[in-house]
Amino acid sequence: MIAGFRHRRRGWGIETGRVSARGRLLLAWMATVLVAVFGIAANATGQDAGNVSAGMPAPSQSAPVIVDGRTLFTVAGVPAYPAERRAREITQRIYALAEDPEVGPDSLTVDLTSAEDAAIVLSPHGTLLHVLDVDSRQQGLKITRATAAHVAVTRIHEAIADYREDRRPEVLLRNAGYSLVLTLVAVGVFFGGRFAFNRFSGWVERRIPERLEAVEQKSFSLIQAQQLWRIFRGTVRVLGLVIAAVLAYGYVNAVLGLFPWTRLLATYLFDFVVDPLQHVASGIVGYLPNLMYLIIIILIFRYVLKLLHTLFGAINRKRIHFTGFEPEWAWPTYRLVRLLVIAFALILAYPYIPGSDSAAFKGVSIFLGVLASIGSSSIISNIVAGYSMTYRRVFKVGDRVKIDDTVGDVTEMRLLVTHVRTPKNEEVVIPNSVILNNEVINYSSQAKDRGLILHTTVGIGYEVPWRQVQAMLLEAAKRTRGIITSRDPFVLRKALGDFAITYELNVYIDDAERMPALHSSLHDNILDVFNEYGVAIMTPAYEADPPDPKLVPREQWYAAPATDPAAGIEPAPASEPAKS
């Protein structure tokens, strides 16, 4: 039975050195509340400014002015007076105004006459900030510095009002109550989800294993139930962790956003998660037009490849015939054309592939191309050799060939290698480049139409008339079954040796696969005919005439253990020599 994955833990405190789930949740809520309490106790300008400065971005040409986690506006800077320092000092002045109860919400004014290149925002404490032309351009809008100054004043008024409202004791207590309610809801969701997950796990343990075993039986054990179970269980666990992480993130972000001292952290936490998701989503939406181009290209070229497959299939089946184009060239040519079509489709689709214009994509493409060029030289040579042999029509499947020292029938022609089965039923795999660099003898190409000449040689002494030898060899050929009777065999005198004349008997056959058997049968008949007429075969060496001719009497042709197939005579026992 497949093992389940149900785990239960109880208790609120520490068990065997580990804090339970309930304990961890309470500790998290207590830590959040303590952060809020300490923030209330440390309600001072210096601490507020320190919190803001800790959340400021890296030095740049502009920096935001942030109060209680809310961005009011951005200000520019110069190398002597960086934007971060300027924003930090403006933030400190705003905090000082917000903490002074004597400062009213409408106590800020804009002075447009004191400075020629800036609008000055004044407060009861003095100058609050200077709004420059470059500050107005930082807003991303074409507005005057006067308009930008009035906008800044409005934002500062709102920030001061929010600052004081968020720090009122009744508001803090209300938000603390909200955090407690959220914590209780989170606890309920946690344990409710845990209970539902355990129930779901139990249902899965009862139902899924049997179905997976049925799938394994139907697939003839190609799909293992144990593997499917591990995949399914892992998927469920990952899904549960994702849901728990989303809920925990929502809880923490909501509680931190209730208090002004942690609101900036909540904002950064929200941006940390949402910004990548938004970037991915915008990238997907922006890629949709390119995706449509890719889909159209794929559909068009897929249809083109189907048409080409149908065309070359008809050529291979000889339903369509082109002059000078052999049917056996159909599929090799289709593979070449398909490769060219796919290459052309990739060229058209390349600009629409995600990241194709990036330096990393180009670098990886060049690296893979170099690796392919270095490691595939022998593969390319074999491929070229394979197509060269196809279009040169060196041989085809089923032909009896001789390649180097290998003689056999071609059983399969692949892109890189050729398979040859020898008469001994041996499978020989020969690289196509080896075939291209060696001579190939094809015994089958002319055997059906013009006949294949099968030959053998014998050496006969000078005392035997050559006309008699020729007649005996032709008689042996006549007795051999399997040769072509419509074409007459012939005998050639190949050499006049020191001790014998070399005769060559040539016969025509139409089946190259029977060459070994016909050779043997021809030799049998030659031996029989020469014995019948009392002529000895003197090769390969000769020293002197023997006292008796080296012949086999007819009555000994079927000596034990041989039998006469015509007379049905049983062989003599091996211990009793045959009578001469």
The pLDDT mean for the chain works out to: 77
pLDDT tens-place string over residues 97-146: 888 887 776 788 888 877 777 888 888 888 888 888 787 776 566 778 88
Residues for the chain: how many in total?
580
Q: Does the pLDDT at position 576 exceed 60?
A: no
Say if residue 427 is in the same domain as residue 392.
Answer: yes
Specify the range with the lowest mean pLDDT, choosing from 39-43, 59-63, 535-539, 543-547: 39-43
CB within 8 Å of 234: residues ≥ 6 apart = none
Q: Name the burial class of residue 416, with classes exposed (0-12), middle (13-18) and buried (19+) by CB atoms within 10 angstroms of its CB.
A: middle
Would 102 be classed as within a structural domain?
Answer: yes
Residues 530 and 511 in one domain: yes
Domain membership of residue 159 (yes or no) is yes
pLDDT at 376: 62
User: Does pLDDT of 56 surpass 50?
Assistant: no
Claim to verify: residue 438 and residue 464 sit in the same structural domain: no
C-alpha to C-alpha distance for 500 and 111, rounded to whole angstroms: 133
DSSP state of 32: H
Of 136, 166, 196, which residue is a domain's last?
Answer: 166
Do 522 and 412 share a domain, yes or no?
no
CATH number for the domain harbouring residue 507: 3.30.70.100
Residues 424 and 473 in one domain: no
At residue 39, does pLDDT exceed 50? no
Give SS3 for 408: strand
Q: Is residue 310 part of a domain?
A: no
More confident residue, 101 or 525: 525
Instruction: Answer whether residue 304 shows pLDDT above 90.
Output: yes
**Residue 22: closest CA among 182, 159, 183:** 183
Residue 522 near residue 505, CB atoms below 8 Å: yes
Q: Is residue 522 part of a domain?
A: yes
Instruction: Output the pLDDT for position 219.
Output: 57
157 and 65 in a single domain? The answer is yes
The mean pLDDT of 491-513, rounded to a whole number, is 90
Q: What is the pLDDT of residue 34?
A: 45
Please tell me the distance from the alpha carbon of residue 338 to that of residue 483, in angstroms, as a whole number: 46
Q: If you ran DSSP here, which 8-state letter would residue 577 be given?
A: P
Q: Cβ contacts of residue 248 below 8 Å, gap of 6+?
A: 186
Strand 109-111's sheet: what is its strand order?
A: 109-111, 118-123, 126-132
Tell me, yes or no, whether 429 and 524 share the same domain.
no
CA 6 to chain CA centroid, nearest Å: 36
Question: Which pLDDT does position 131 carry in this prediction?
Answer: 84
How many domains does one find in the chain? 3
Over residues 202-217, mean pLDDT: 67
- Please check whether residue 393 lies inside any domain of the structure: yes
Same structural domain for residues 396 and 479? no
Minimum mean pLDDT range among 30-39, 100-109, 331-340: 30-39
* Residue 521 pLDDT > 90: yes
CA dihedral 325, 330, 333, 338 (to 10 degrees): 140
Q: Among 52-66, 136-150, 372-386, which range has the highest average pLDDT? A: 136-150
Q: Looking at residues 180-208, what average pLDDT do you find?
A: 81
Domain range for 121: 44-166
Instruction: Report pLDDT for 213.
Output: 63
Out of 115, 145, 166, a domain closes at: 166
Which CATH number is 386's domain given? Answer: 2.30.30.60
Q: What is the 3-state secondary structure (H, E, C) of 475-500?
A: HHHHHCCCCCCCCCCEEEEEEECCCC
Beta-strand relationship, 118-123 and 417-421: unpaired
Query: Is 80 exceeded by the pLDDT of residue 417?
Result: yes
Same domain, 484 and 505: yes
Question: In this structure, which amino acid lies at residue 164?
Answer: R
Question: Is residue 73 within 8 Å of residue 151, measured between CB atoms?
Answer: yes
10 in any annotated domain: no
Q: What is the pLDDT of residue 7?
A: 37
Share of the chain above pLDDT 70, in %: 77
- Where does a domain end: 131, 166, 201? 166
d(CA 391, CA 398): 17
What pLDDT does residue 161 have? 84
The pLDDT assigned to 171 comes to: 83
Q: Are residues 403 and 512 in the same domain?
A: no
Check residues 519 and 268 and name the one with the higher pLDDT. 519
- pLDDT for the residue 560: 59
Residue 501: which H helix or E strand, with range?
Answer: strand 501-509
Percent of the chain at pLDDT exceeding 90: 14
Indicate if the pLDDT at residue 569 is higher than 60.
no
Ramachandran area for residue 305 (φ above 0: left; ψ -120 to 50: alpha; else beta):
alpha
Residue 534, pLDDT above cutoff 90 = no
Query: What is the per-residue pLDDT for 557?
Result: 74
Phi, psi for 325 (deg, rounded to 5):
-115, 115
Which of these, 480, 410, 412, lies nearest to 445 by C-alpha position? 410
Q: Is 575 inside any structural domain?
A: no
Quick check: helix, strand or coil at residue 252? helix
Find which of 84-93, 143-152, 443-452, 540-549 is predicted with most confidence, using mean pLDDT: 84-93
Whether residue 535 sits in one domain with residue 466: yes
Distance of CA 512 to the CA centre of its chain: 46
Please confirm whether the linkage preceding 561 is cis (ω < 30° from 0).
yes
pLDDT of residue 547: 72
Q: Is 458 helix (H, G, I), strand (E, B) or coil?
A: strand
Residues 442, 394: contact at Cβ < 8 Å? yes
- For residues 458 and 438, state if they share a domain: no
Residue 417 lies in a domain: yes
